[in-house]
Amino acid sequence: MTKTKGSQKTETVKTTARTSKVIKPRVEISSSESEMEEENGYVKLEKSMKKLFQDFKKEIKKELRDFEESLNFSNGKLDDIIKKMGSIQNVLNTMSEKQEKLENENKMLKTKVQELECSMEELQQYTRNKNIQIDGVPKQPNENLKEIVKTIGNKIDVPIKEEDIDAIHRIPTRSTNNPEPIVVQFLTRQMKEGVIQKAKSARLSTNDINVHVPIGLDRPIYVNDHLTRQRKEIMFQARQMKTERNYKFLWTRNGKIFIRKDERSVVINLNTKEDLKKIV
């Protein structure tokens, strides 16, 4: 059977309809849309970055405020410490001034004490200005000290009467080898000085005063000023230094001690132990 044109047309339409259902249309994106999407991404990223930066900035500001508060607090504490340090320094300065004042007062007191000691020493020595001390006279049973002194006076050509003697006695000594010294107090200073002057050039010994000593054991007798204990110690040390340092002269006069290197040297007055340092 032959198909008509109308049927062919109908079939063609059906075929076309089936074909249109299978083939999907192709969607194309324009370049302008792609640029818009990319720009939107940048905008979002920029917003995120801004938000992060703002948050970071807020955090930094907060930390700076906290640090500033802490610094102000520390500065306040530091000011308090500095004020306290200043107060402590003032206290230390005051204490230092007081200490210096006390040290100066202590020095003054020491000087005054030394002056008083010297004055006392001079006074003690002055009370001995009529006294002589005789060393080297052996102690005898039932001895008559006044007769011994009168015998010494006859030997040195200075007549001594019993009434010229105000007091006479032996004094203790720490020496176990030497007899106790004899101290004589005359009525006048002139008598005392005359006896000492003549006795120094006479070179007295036990044979000159008629005391009993074993044969061959004759001993020298010394007549000197009656010195205070302190001046005796000075004299003892000076005598040792005289030998050690080859000094030629050492003597006493009116209770004062003098030493001299030789005839051309200056005379050194030994009033205190400190003066011994002058012996060089």
Q: What is the pLDDT along the chain (280 residues), one digit of tens a residue?
A: 444 444 444 444 444 444 444 444 554 545 556 666 666 766 677 777 777 777 777 777 777 777 777 777 766 777 777 777 777 778 778 888 888 888 998 999 988 888 888 889 999 999 999 999 999 999 988 999 999 999 999 999 999 999 999 999 999 988 788 899 999 999 999 999 999 999 988 889 998 887 777 666 788 999 999 999 999 999 999 999 999 999 999 999 989 999 999 999 999 999 899 999 999 9
Is 155 found in the same domain as 204?
Answer: yes
Is 181 found in the same domain as 162?
Answer: yes
Tell me which of 226, 241, 264 is where a domain ends: 226
Query: What's the pTM?
Result: 0.61
- How far is 190 from 135, CA to CA, in rounded Å? 21
Residue 7 falls inside a structural domain: no
Please count the other Cβ atoms lying within 10 Å of the Cβ belonging to residue 128: 19
Range of the domain at 236: 228-279
Is 115 found in the same domain as 66?
Answer: yes
Tell me which of 78, 93, 127 is where a domain ends: 127
CA distances from 96 to 41, 88, 92, 107 (A): 78, 12, 6, 16
Please count the other Cβ atoms lying within 10 Å of the Cβ belonging to residue 165: 17
